[in-house]
Structure 1
Amino acid sequence: MTRVVTLAHYYTQPEVQQMADKVGDSLELSLYARDAEADIIVFAGVRFMAETAKILNPGATVILPDSGSTCSLVTQTDVGALAAWRARYPDHVHVSYINSSAEHKALSDWIVTSRNVDDIIADLYSQGKKVIFSPDRNMGAYLNFQYGYDMPLWSAVCEVHDKFNEAALDEAFAAIDGKGTRFLIAHPESPLPVLKRADYIGSTSGMLNWVRDYAGDPSAVLFVATEDGILYNMHQARPDLDLRQAPIYTGCQCNSCPYMKLNTVDAVRRAQAGAGTVIDYLTPAQMDAARLPIERMLEFSQQRYRA
C-alpha cells in the first residue's frame, strides 16, 4: 500500500495545515521527512523544503504542490558567484541557512535552521574555527552583533522579513506606550534595527512556544515580526492574548509570503493525487553532497534538543 505523507509549514494557510500529517518549522519538518518512511511526500512549503525532503528520502517521490513556490533567499543567490565567494575563504567553515537550494547546500559544510543556528555556530567557534555565513544577510548580521562574531556574510534577504522596519515599529509602539504593556518577538531573518528592539528572537517554533508559555500582563499587546501564517497557530494556542503582526509601514499588518500562499487547498489535493511538481531533477551526486551538511545539522540537533 502506498504511503502518502503531507507536510505543511506554519506559514501556509490554516486550511492547508489542517490537511497535513505534520505541521512545523524547517527543523521539525526535516526530521519528520527523514523518518517518515513514506512512498510519496507532499510538501506544502517552498521548493528548497521539498528538495531537502528528497535529499533525506531519495527513494520517495516528493511533490511540491505549486512550481512557483520559491524563496527570495534562493532567487537572490547565484550559485556560481557563491562558489567563488566561498573560495575566497579556504580556511573558513561555510555555514548555510536551510533556506537555500540543493546546489547551495552542496557547497556548504554545515546547514542550520533558525532554531539551531546560534548553538551550531557557537560550537564551531568554541573549536577555534572561523565561519562564513550564507545566504541570509539579516540573520548573519544579527549573529555578528549578538555574539561579537566577524563572519563574512553573503547578501540575500527574505523579502517578507526584510519589510519589517524600525520606523513602523516606533509608531506602533507609541500607540501602546503609556496605555499598557507591549512586547515584540521577532524572527532572526528580520533587519537588525528591528531585532535590537525585540524582547525575544527565535525560530518560528520558538516564537510559538514563547507565546504558549507567556505568563505576563494578560492585557499586553504582543507584536510578532514574522510571516502572518504563524498568527493562526498562536491564536489557537492563546486565544486570550492580543497578538498582532508587526507593521511594515504605517497601518499595515499584512506581511505574507506570496510563495507559501501558492499552497492552496486545491493544489495540495492535486499533489496528494499525484499531480504537481515532482522533485526529480537532483542527481545522486548532488543529493549526496547536499545531504552531508544536513545530516551534520540533524545529528547535532538530535543530541542537543533530544528532537
Structure 2
Amino acid sequence: MSKRVVTLAHYYTAPAIQQMADKVGDSLELSLYAKECQADTIVFAGVRFMAETAKILNPQAEVILPDAGSTCSLVTQTDVKRLAAWRQKYADHVHVAYINSSAEHKALADWIVTSRNVDDIIAHLYAQGERVIFSPDRNMGAYLNYQYGYDMPLWSAVCEVHDRFNENSLLEGMAAVDGPKYLIAHPESPLPVLKRADYVGSTSGMLDWVRRFDREPDATIFVATEDGILYNMGLARPDLKISQAPIYAGCQCNQCPYMKMNTIEAVRRAQNGEGVRIDYLTPAQMDAARLPIERMLAFSKARMAAAQATPVAVPA
C-alpha cells in the first residue's frame, strides 16, 4: 500500500512553491488539513515551528521540513528558560501564546491562539475574570492592549519581517500614490502602522478582505505583511491595484528569508524523503504542546456551533 504524501505550502512561500503544494494556507489551517486527509508523510514548505505543529497534531505522520535553516525570529529571540522564569513570575496569570512559537514554548502555554482568533479568546478569558500574559509577539500584544484596553504583560520578541514596516515610510509611500488608498496590516506589525490600518487581521483575513473589496475600483491597497501573499491576492482580484507597504524610501521588497529557503529543489528533495525530519519531539513534549492547541480548537468549535444555533431574526 503506497503512502500518502501531502505537500503543504504557506502563503509566504514563493509562487512556484505554492504551485507544487496540495494545499496552500495559514500554518494551523495546513496542519489541520493534513490531519483531515490522514497524511502518512507531510512535506511542510514553511518554517520549523509550523512543521512542529503539524507533527504535534499528526504524531503518527512523518513530517519533513525542506530546509534546516527555515526558522523564525519569534523563536530565535525567545530563550525558553527565560520564558519559563517569566511565566513563573506571573504564575497567577493565564499564559496565552501565539502559535508562531516553538513546541517547547507551546508546552509552557495555557492557550495557543492564531492571529485570526486571538481577539475572541483573550476577550473570553477577561470575561471569565482571568489575568493574562501574552507571548511571544510584542507587536501583536501591544496592539491588543491598545485596541481593547488590556494590561497584559508582554514577552519581547518580534517578527523581523513585520517589524520593518514603519509609519514614516508608509505615509511617504502612500502620499506618492494618487487616488483612494487603503491599508491592511498583519497584527505582527508595529503599533503606529496598525493604528493607520483600515483592516488588521491574519494572513487569511487580509486575503478575504481583498476578495470582498467593493469600494473605489481605482483604489490602491497597501499591504503590510510578507510579500508572498500578494501573489494570492493578485490571483483573487486581478482587477485591483495591490502593493506591499514600503519599509523605506519606497522599497517594496520585504520578504521572510526563512520562508524563501523553501526552494523548488529543496521541496522536491523533501518529497523524495530528504530534508529535516521532525522526529526529535518526545511524546511528553508533544502532549504538553498539544493541550493548549486543543483548548483553542475546542473553543473555536464551540463558538462556531453557538453561532450556527443562534436563530436569525426575521423582519416583521
Fold shared by both chains (TM-score > 0.5) = yes
Is the contact made by 1:185 and 1:199 (CA closer than 8 Å) also made in structure 2?
Answer: yes
1:94-149 per-residue CA deviation (whole Å, 9 max, x = no partner) reads 00000100000000000011111111111111111110000000000000000000
Partner of 1:116: 117
Q: 1:36 offset after TM fit, Å?
A: 2.7
Partner of 1:275: 274
Structure 2: distance between partners of 1:302 and 1:158: 29
Partner of 1:188: 187
Q: 1:278 offset after TM fit, Å?
A: 0.2
Is the contact made by 1:182 and 1:220 (CA closer than 8 Å) also made in structure 2?
Answer: yes
Q: 1:180 offset after TM fit, Å?
A: 1.1
Report the more deviating stretch, 182-191 or 12-21. Answer: 12-21
Is the contact made by 1:172 and 1:247 (CA closer than 8 Å) also made in structure 2?
Answer: yes
Q: 1:166 offset after TM fit, Å?
A: 0.3
Partner of 2:311: none
- Identical positions, percent: 79
Unaligned runs of 5+ in 2: 306-316
1:49-73 per-residue CA deviation (whole Å, 9 max, x = no partner) reads 0000001111110000000000000
Q: 1:167 offset after TM fit, Å?
A: 0.5
Report the more deviating stretch, 19-28 or 242-251. Answer: 19-28
Is 2:225 the partner of 1:226? yes
1:191-239 per-residue CA deviation (whole Å, 9 max, x = no partner) reads 0000000000000000000000000001001000000000000000000
Letter in 1 for 2:233: M
Size of the alignment, in residue pairs?
Answer: 304
Partner of 1:52: 53
Letter in 2 for 1:79: V
Partner of 2:130: 129
Structure 2: distance between partners of 1:131 and 1:121: 8
Q: After TM superposition, what 4+ stretches of structure 1 lie above 4 angstroms from structure 2?
A: none
Structure 2: distance between partners of 1:69 and 1:263: 8
Structure 1: distance between partners of 2:148 and 2:24: 31
Partner of 2:297: 298
Is the contact made by 1:31 and 1:298 (CA closer than 8 Å) also made in structure 2?
Answer: no
Structure 2: distance between partners of 1:294 and 1:79: 18
SS in structure 2 of the partner of residue 249 of structure 1: coil
Structure 1: distance between partners of 2:265 and 2:67: 10
Q: 1:264 offset after TM fit, Å?
A: 0.8
Q: 1:302 offset after TM fit, Å?
A: 3.0
Q: 1:301 offset after TM fit, Å?
A: 2.3
Q: 1:21 offset after TM fit, Å?
A: 1.1
Is 2:222 the partner of 1:209? no
Say what the alpha-carbon RMSD is for the aligned residues. Answer: 0.9
Change (3 A) 1:208 1:305: farther
Structure 2: distance between partners of 1:61 and 1:19: 19
SS in structure 1 of the partner of residue 209 of structure 2: helix
TM-score, normalization by structure 2:
0.95
Is the contact made by 1:45 and 1:263 (CA closer than 8 Å) also made in structure 2?
Answer: yes
Structure 1: distance between partners of 2:91 and 2:260: 39
TM-score, normalization by structure 1:
0.97
